[in-house]
Amino acid sequence: MQGVLYYFDELKVPGLPIYLALAAGIVGGLILWIKQRDRWGIKKCLRAVCLEFAIGCALLLFFGREVVPAVGAFLLVGIGFSGFMYLIPLMNGDVIDMDEHRTSLRREGMYAGVNSLITKPAISIAQAVFLGALAAFGYNQDLGKGLQSASAQTGILVGWVALPAILLFACFALLHFYPLAGSTWDKIKDSLAVIHRDKEKRYLEAHGYKLAE
């Protein structure tokens, strides 16, 4: 989100229609992914999120100086943002389920810790890459708002969305090989659901509660 500040300060694109498009994308995207999750499955939804988010970033990269393409790009970014916020935890849950299926252990805390171990440094690396791109394209910190060169403006777009676009396209391709999908996986999920219900029942009964049959 750091790039948003530089983007509006230097490229002089009006903020209101873009923020409205972003908000519409987030709300509409959340509705879309909730509806499509069971129809498409998490794998297909995530591939769709990666693809449309990558297209949004590419639109910003090449046409971010124009209002109409920027509005469309931010709409796609909003849809992608809501998709990742909603679907990634579900994907993590499937990975934890597969680990439980293989080991008979439920290790959610360990996976949450490893997730933080990876994502927190990644956030810092992303900021460093963005600022490095600004420097490479001649961004001058001594100038006031809106006074950067055309090259520096290009550097803002490149540093902000070029690498995400590349990585999102790569994720779209690599998710083709993601194995936790299909009828076999559905059967594993169903068997785990039975195990979880039995565990819950035994736990409640051990504490004096009896579930209705």
What pLDDT digit, counting tens, does each position of 97-149 carry?
A: 999 999 999 999 999 999 889 998 998 999 899 999 999 999 998 888 889 89
Taking residues 65-81, report their average pLDDT: 95
**In Å, what is the CA distance from 8 to each residue of 63, 73, 181?**
14, 14, 41
How far apart CA 99 and CA 90 sit, in angstroms, is: 14
pLDDT score for 206: 83
pLDDT score for 207: 79
How far apart CA 40 and CA 22 sit, in angstroms, is: 24
Confidence check: pLDDT of 212 > 70: no
Is the Cβ–Cβ distance between 156 and 7 less than 8 Å? yes
pTM of the entire predicted model:
0.88
pLDDT score for 198: 87
How far apart CA 169 and CA 80 sit, in angstroms, is: 13
Q: How confident is the model at residue 203 (pLDDT cuts 50, 70, 90)?
A: confident
Confidence check: pLDDT of 213 > 80: no
Tokens 């001594």 belong to residue? 142
Summarised one tens digit per residue, pLDDT across range 26-49 is 999 999 999 999 899 999 999 999
How far apart CA 85 and CA 41 sit, in angstroms, is: 16
Taking residues 55-69, report their average pLDDT: 94
List the structure tokens of 46.
Answer: 């995530």
pLDDT score for 75: 97
Is the Cβ–Cβ distance between 55 and 79 less than 8 Å? no
Report which DSSP code applies to 182.
S
Residues sharing a CB contact under 8 Å with residue 201, sequence separation 6 or more, in sequence order = 211
Summarised one tens digit per residue, pLDDT across range 139-187 is 998 888 889 899 999 999 999 999 999 999 999 999 999 999 999 999 9
Phi, psi of 146 (to 5 degrees): 80, 10
DSSP string of 71-88, one letter each residue: HHHHHHHHHHHHHHHHHH
Angle between helices 150-157 and 2-11 (to 10 degrees): 150
List the structure tokens of 148.
Answer: 């950067």
How far apart CA 51 and CA 30 sit, in angstroms, is: 16
pLDDT score for 211: 61
